[in-house]
Chain A
Amino acid sequence: MTLYKGVRLTAGAFFLLAALTGCATMVPQTMDLRDAWPAGVPDRVELGDVPFFPQQDYQCGPAALATTLVYSGVKVTPDDLVSQVYLPARQGSLQVEMLAAPRRYGIVSYAIAPRLDDLLREVAAGNPVIVLQDNGIGPLSKWHYAVVAGFDYPAGELLLRSGETLRLAIPFTILEYTWKKGRYWAMVTLPPDRIPATATESGYLEAILAMARVGNAGAVTMAYRTFLNRWPDNVTASVALANKHYEWGAIKEAEAVLRQAAARHPDSVLVLNNLAQTVSDQGRNDEALAIIERALRTESLFTASARETRELILQRRAKGG
C-alpha cells in the first residue's frame, strides 16, 4: 500500500515537473530531430550482428565494452575486461577507463560529440555506440552503460543491448532523458583501419595518439596510415608515425614517411629536423646536413632543436661517419 502511494506520488511529481518545464526543455535534442533528421541517415537501422553479453552483478561496463570490441573483431569476453575497467569499491566502471581499455587491443576508442545526431550517424555507419545513462530519479543517480545497436524512428524507438536484455527498445525521449545527465557521453570503438563517421581531424588524431601509447605496432601503423589517407596534410600524424617507426628501429620506414611529409610541407622545421636525423642515422651525413640547413631557413618553435641536430650531424661528419 505504501509502495503504491510512493509510486503515485512520484508519478504526480514527475507529471508536474514535465508540465512546468515543458517537454521541449527536458528532451531538447529529440525535439530538434522532429524538424531536422540528420541528412543521409535512414530512419530505420538495426545492427543485428552486434553480439550480446548479459551483464553480471554491477558489470555493465565490461559487458558493454566486450559488445563493441567483439564487433570490432577482437576476441574478448566481459570477464577479460573486468580487471581492466571494473573498480571494486565503486561497483562500476569509469568513463576514462572505458576509453582506455580498448587501446590495449589495438582498437581506437573515440568519444563522440554529445549529440543525438552524431549517435544516429555512427549507428547508421555500422558502429554500435556505448552510452552512459543515469537511470536514477532526481538526485539518486544510477549510472549504467548500454550499447545502442539500432533505431526505428517511425516507431520512435532506439534498440539497445542493455543489462540482461538482448534487444531493449526504448523511446527516444527516455534515452535522451537518461543520457542527458551524463552530458550525453557516448563512445565508439573501431578497428584501426576504419574511422568513425563523425570523427573530427583533431579529435581522432588524439584518439590514435592515445592508442599508440599501448597498442601493438601493426595496429598503430594501420591507424596512422588510415588517418593520413583521410587527412594527408596532417603534419603531427606523419611525425608521430615516423617516430613510432624510429622507436621500433625501422629507420627506413621512418624516413619514407618523413619524405612524404616533407614533400607536402617543404618548410616544416619539425619534419625536416626529424628527416635529417633519420638520414644521418643511416650514415648519410652530407645529405642530412643539406636537409637541416633547409630547416634552419625558417624560424619556428623547433629551431633550437634543429640547431642541436645540425651540431650532431657536423660532429658525426667530422668523425668521418
Chain B
Amino acid sequence: MSVLVYISTPNGHISKSAIEAVYYGSQIGEVTALANGNVSKDDLANLGKYGAKNVLLHASETEDPSQLSKMIQKAATSASADTIILSYDLIGKAIAPRVSAGMKAGYVPGATTLPDANGLIKTNVFSGKAKGLVKVNTPKRIIGLTPNSIPLVEGNDVATVTDFSEEIGNSSITIKEIKKQEGDILLTEADLVVSAGRGLKGPENWGMVEDLAKTLGAATACSRPVADIGWRPHHEHVGQTGIAIRPNLYIAAGISGAIQHLAGVNQSKTIVVINTDPEAPFFKAADYGVIGDAFEVLPALNEAIKNFKANN
C-alpha cells in the first residue's frame, strides 16, 4: 500500500505533528512525503528515521489551500498513493477537505488511531467528549491525524529527496502581513502546558505562571474569561471556542473547569488541577488535585520542580 504524507513547514521548520503523520503513515504502507517551500533537504532526508522512503519537495512557498490541494493530488497520483495523510492542525484542516472533495475520497478528520483490521479509524467527536469509529467507503482515503495521538519510534534510515515541479495553478490570495505570537513554545505543539484562570485575580499575577512554565519548558494557556477581559492574549485561550490541545501534562490553576473549558483540554494525558474550592468541577477530570491557593502552590511547585531538575 502506498501512502502520501503532506508535511507543512511553517518558517522552514518541520513540526512534530508532521513527523507524527509520517510515522503513522509508515505503519500503514510505504511513505512518500510531500513538502513545499524553503526547507532544508537534510531535514527532509531525516524523515527517513520516522519511516519516509521518499520525499518530494516542491519549490512553491504557497499556503493557499487551492494550490496545495492540486499539489497533493498530483503527488498522490505520482506516488500511486491510496492513503493521504495530513496533520489535523491549522494547515491540514484547511487543505484536507479540498483534497477529499477533489479526489472524491473519504476523509477522516481528527483521527486518533491507525485503521483497524477492518479499516475502521477512531476519531474525536463531540469536542473530545466521545470517539467515533469511521468507515471510509471509497477506494482512496484521506486521514487528518490529531497531533500527539501516537508515540514516535525513531529508526536509522534516510529518505531520498527529489524535486517535484508539477504545475499548481495561480493563487488569488495575497498575504499582506504576518503577525507572530509572542513566546517561544507554541501552545498547540507543547508537551507541557501551564494554564490559569480568574482565580489569579489579575494579569499582574501571571509572573508565577510564567515562572513555572519556564522551569518546566512549558507553554502558557488560559481560560476563556481571562482572554475575554484582556488579561491574556486570545491565542492562549483553550476550550470549546478557543483552541483544543492535548499535551502530556496540563496544569490548571484557578480554573473551575466548566464543561466548555474541559472540551479543549480533556484529551491531555495527565491533568493537574490547583484550586481553593474543593467542589470545583475540574477535580472530576483531574488526575492529580491540589486543594490550595494558587498564589502559594504555584511558587512551591516551581521550587519543587527546580529541585527535581537539579537532582536528575
Partners in one complex: no
